[in-house]
Structure 1
Amino acid sequence: MGRPVVHFEITGRDGQALRSFYTRLFDWQIDADNPMGYGMVAREGNTTEDGVGIGGGIAGMPEGEGGGYVTFYVSVPDVEATLTQVESLGGSRALGPEKISDDLVIGQFRDPEGNLIGVIQAMSQSA
């Protein structure tokens, strides 16, 4: 069985403007009430009648960083092992592993064409 896409991320220079845009466009309820101001789009309430859909995040980029990106995150059992495999297959590590919280580790890589993809490991997944 393949690994599921579990999160999307949209970033740009003005996180508040992006959150407003996607709220008005898709009627997403976005909660940015956290220390990082990271706008969370919950999966609940954003699915089809069959329950298809994923949650995500919409945020601004740190000052001095690029113009933003759109990416998705795939659930993996081990971020470091996955990033090592990416490198062996011709991709490159962009970030991580980075511990976001006590129960969450993320990483990002660029595939051989330069596309930015994320990987996410819930600590409850680790052995």
Structure 2
Amino acid sequence: MGNPVVHFEIEGRDGETLRDFYSELFDWRIDADNPAKYGLVSRDDNLTADGVGIGGAVFEVPETPSTTWRGPTRAEGYGGHVTIFVEVDDVEAALAHAERLGGERLQGPDEVMGGLVMGKFRDPDGHLVGLVGSRRGA
């Protein structure tokens, strides 16, 4: 069985405008009530009748990115990206595997939000892809 897509991020220069846009466009309730204004889109609020859907986030490119981020920064004019996150058993192993296959590690592994481990890489064609550590058995 393959690894599932479990999260998305829409990151841009004006987080508030993006949150308003996607909230209106897709009727998403976006909760950005946190110090980073990381606007969470709840999976439970956005499911099909068959229970299909994933959660995500809409937010602003941070002034100071993670200490392990190796990509472009806001100060360099970086405008953001849309990223899918794939669940893996071991983020470090998946990042190393991506590098062996010709990808470029851009971030992580980093521990975020209560012990969740994530990372990001650029595929050989330049697409940004995120990884989230599995919580199976946690």
Question: Per the shorter chain, which TM-score range?
Answer: over 0.9
Q: Does structure 2 retain, via aligned residues, the 8 Å contact 1:78–1:126?
A: no
**Pairs aligned (count):** 126
Change (3 A) 1:126 1:116: farther
In structure 1, distance between residues paired with 2:126 and 2:53: 26
Q: Which runs of 4+ in 1 moved over 3 A?
A: 124-127
Deviations, residues 24-77 of structure 1 (Å, cap 9, x unaligned): 100000000112110000001201111111000000002351101001000011
User: 1:41-80, aligned counterparts within 5 Å?
Assistant: 41-63=41-63, 65=74, 66-80=78-92
Q: Does structure 2 retain, via aligned residues, the 8 Å contact 1:106–1:121?
A: yes
Identify the residue that residue 95 of structure 2 maps to in structure 1: 83
User: 1:1-127, aligned counterparts within 5 Å?
Assistant: 1-63=1-63, 65=74, 66-122=78-134, 124-125=135-136
Amino acid aligned to 2:40? M
In structure 2, distance between residues paired with 1:105 and 1:126: 15
- SS of 2:44's partner is coil
Change (3 A) 1:103 1:125: farther
In structure 1, distance between residues paired with 2:22 and 2:92: 32
Gaps of 5+ in 2: 64-72
Amino acid aligned to 1:107? G
The two structures have a TM-score, normalised by structure 1, of 0.94
Amino acid aligned to 1:22? Y
The two structures have a TM-score, normalised by structure 2, of 0.86
Gaps of 5+ in 1: none
CA RMSD of aligned residues (A): 1.5
* Same amino acid, percent of matched pairs: 56
